[in-house]
Chain A
Amino acid sequence: MTADFLLSRYPYVLIAVLFAIGLYGMTVKRNLMKKIIGMTIFQTSIYLFFIQGATKQGATIPVLDPELGPSAELYINPLPQVIVLTAIVVGVAITGVALSLILVLYRRYGTLDEVELLRRMRESA
């Protein structure tokens, strides 16, 4: 039973594991860089979830081929792909802003450890 479940649903299990690792990294890790790595893993797990639902065996790109005919079974659904592509762009922008913020912090305080950073902030204030 469990084996069947894992075999048929293993992508979702992996996605759930990634999701949990990402959330753990973002909320528990003290190092800001690791938080951002966690954020990337978290976002990736959502992209994977979105794209996993659109996988199809034996289908081709969504351009109508006269030889294959108009049957929807033979073509990949383009909408989730496009949505995930857009979401990846959004995610890259978020990562970029986050990296620029920790760059500012590192230059100003010389550390990326959250506790140490807050201590140095208080001292300099």
Chain B
Amino acid sequence: MSQIPALIPTSLLLASLLSLLIGLKSRRGAHWTALLGAIAAFAFSLMGVKAMIDGDGEAIRYAAGNWIPPIGIEFVLDSLSAYMTAIITFIGVIVLIYAPRSLALETPGRERMVYPSMTLVLAGLVGMCLTGDVFNLYVFLEIAALAAYALLAIGDRGAPVATLRYLLFGAIGGGFYLLGVAYLYYATGTVNMADLSMRLPELMESQAVIVAAVLMVVGLGIKMALFPFHFWLPDVYTNAPSVSSALIAPVMTKVSAYAIIRLFLDVFPPGFFTANLPLAQTIGWFSAAGIIFGSVLAIAQHDYRRMLAYSSVGQLGYIGLGIGLANPIGMIGGLLHIVNHALMKGLLFMIGGAVRLRFGVTKIPDFVGVGRAMPWTMVAFTVGVLAMVGIPPTAGFFSKWYLLLGSAEAGAWVWFAVIIASSLLSAIYFFRVVEMVYRDPESDSAVEDREPLPRGEAPASMFWPITIMAVSIMAVGIFNVLIVSALLERVAAPLGG
């Protein structure tokens, strides 16, 4: 049991290496190795979640190389990291099942490099969630980012330029974070999170600690695509292969948000981000601006993937609002939105890939008649849309509900209004697509001369992952109380209440 924190990233790292080597001989072997590694990591994550629910939330600590912390690096599995790793590895398994057919169409001949990169992204992300060391977090952050650059750059013609821009801003974000670690190290003499949380309370007034906190949050904010640092995101998601977007859009940016939450709740002393230094409020206001900005720009997009990318900018804002509210119920809403948005965005990008595979279309006006050609996939799409808008009993409703309760409790009526307004805005841009999908192609003058779309769902390897995601959205919505009471209430406990 005490090995779980190390087993989750190592099974993925090992799978990545093996998948690379086996990929030299067999493409199918590379896929299966990556998939098995992800399944193993998901199983270990579930064991971790179970251990957290059964136990009283006592963290499982693993000292790497048996070097006792704070001298050695430790991996820590607590309620928050168990929750995050379960989400990441679940999305990983689903997208890896989905991947082969889509990759064969969109990146022919280059699939064998994709599977090792995908597992490496997952390894970096779970590593970020499990590490108990602020510098180690930087290393895992860059592992995930480097593998993600490779995954994103193999896409359409515009992909290398978009990825290079992402890489440059990612390097600035990583650099700021590292500089913050340096300040923190010279203020306290340690990079271990548990050790830092013991030494920081007496240094609350220290200028070096304040500079460190600002630098780290700005760095992670760039990586998280927090408004106004979001500008790299739309181009990247628009040009990337569907599989890369389906893997990276749901989890990558959220893990940087997780890192901010970890610093906020567990590393810096209670009240440091709210009372000493109004960082949480600043994140909240930028997030509120990002929600409106992303939603409005999403309405203006013609490309399905670009619309989803702008919608992501907006949706990330909800997690930021959870940080900004800084009360337990708001934080629970923000954390719950991590799993909700991961499922919803993963589903919608996967459906985009399936439609592209069947009909080769990515522009929203070309979606006319798809509802008749792929009826079940479009049922899943409708579930995803209802969740994005936030209609009960889908998952999307409950995170917004908690955020609304949190805003009311904090008296943040502007943020309350922003959440309501953005639900209406997302209804506008998503129902526009739904209308296209179910429009009768024969009575539509724009596509009258087009051949009718042949009826038929996506191949089974893509159809079932989509179905599982849609069912999960409903399940997370219906059982959200279980997640909240078993894991998230404990995570948000340091905020009081």
Contacts and interface: CB of A to CB of B under 8 A. Distances in A.
Contacts of A108: 157, 160
A6 interface: no
Contacts of A117: 161
A50 B182 contact: yes
A76 interface: no
A93 interface: yes
Interface in B148-176: 149-150, 153, 157-158, 160-161, 163-164, 167-168, 171-172, 174-175
Given A35-B168, A105-B160, A46 B182 contact: yes
Contacts, number: 77
B463 interface: no
- Among B153, B175, B186, the one with the most A-chain Cβ atoms within 10 Å of its Cβ is B175
A94 B142 contact: yes
A7 interface: no
Contact of A46 (B157, B168, B178, B185): B178
Interface residues of B, number: 27
B164 A93 contact: no
Contacts of B153: 101, 104
B160 A43 contact: no
Interface string A25-64: 0100000100100010011001001100100000000000
Interface in A92-115: 93-94, 97-98, 101-102, 104-105, 108
A94 B171 contact: yes
Interface in A13-29: 23, 26
B104 to A, nearest CB: 21
B135 interface: yes
A101 B171 CA distance: 14
Contacts of B157: 108, 121, 124-125
Contacts of A86: 135, 139
Contacts of B185: 50, 53, 79-80, 83
B139 A101 contact: no
B146 A97 contact: yes
Contact of A101 (B163, B174, B175): B163
Interface residues of A, number: 31
Nearest to A82: B135
A118 B168 contact: no
A87 interface: yes
A94 B149 CA distance: 10
B468 to A, nearest CB: 33
Interface in B263-313: none
B164 A39 contact: no
Contact of B164 (A23, A46, A53, A105): A105
29 contacts: A26-B171, A35-B168, A49-B179, A50-B178, A50-B182, A53-B182, A53-B186, A79-B191, A86-B139, A87-B178, A90-B142, A90-B174, A93-B142, A94-B142, A94-B146, A94-B171, A97-B146, A97-B149, A101-B149, A101-B160, A101-B164, A104-B153, A105-B161, A105-B164, A118-B161, A121-B161, A124-B157, A125-B157, A125-B158
